[in-house]
Amino acid sequence: MKFLHTSITVRHMDESLKFYTEVLGLQFERRRTIPENKAEIAFVQDPQSGARIELTHWDGKESFEAGEQLDHLAFEVDDLDRFLLHVRSRGVPVAKEPYRLSGGSSRIAFILDPNEVWIELIERAKPAA
Round to whole Å and give the CA distance between 41 and 31. Answer: 6
Q: Which of 68, 76, 120, 123 is catalytic?
A: 120
Distance, in Å, from the CA atom of 71 to the CA atom of 16, rounded to the nearest integer, reads 15
- The gap between the terminal CA atoms of the chain, to the nearest Å, is 23
Q: Is 116 among the catalytic positions?
A: no
Phi-psi region of 50 (alpha: psi -120 to 50; beta: other; left: phi over 0): left
Nearest CA-CA partner of 100 in 124, 67, 69, 64: 124
CA geometry: angle 94, 100, 104, nearest 5 deg? 140
Residue positions annotated with a catalytic role? 120
